[in-house]
Amino acid sequence: MRDLSSRLSQGLPADAVLLDVRAPERFRGEHEPIDPRAGHIPGARNLPTAGNVDAAGRFLTPQALRERLLAAGADDHRPVVSYCGSGVNAAHATLAAHLAGFDAVLYPGSFSQWSQHAELEVAVGE
């Protein structure tokens, strides 16, 4: 996996589908228990990691994962970049995207790193 943290100052790839895999209330900026600022990286779409598994905690089928990612805006022509708060859930989401057949990478610094930089914009709401 490529490490996008070195690209932080340059911004993320313009053609990437950026997925914030945290809970919706953290994505919207309504609740932030950890980071100095609440919200999400501008342009990100919320696709919580919990939706990648079934009731038994197993990954959904590759086709079901693919449909979920397509509904969130992923396509076969752009990389999928996943982030969360610390990188742990984003690693899970990156694997799910790979299982679904997408070129996926992890932004390991995740929102915790992004939110530490006052010069980087943070979006709130949907």
What residues act catalytically?
84
Q: How far is CA 114 from CA 5, 58, 71, 98, 120, in A?
A: 9, 30, 26, 24, 7
Placement of tokens 């990286």 in the chain? 41
Which residues, in sequence order, are CB contacts of 38 under 8 Å at separation 6+? 26, 29, 30, 31, 32, 122, 124
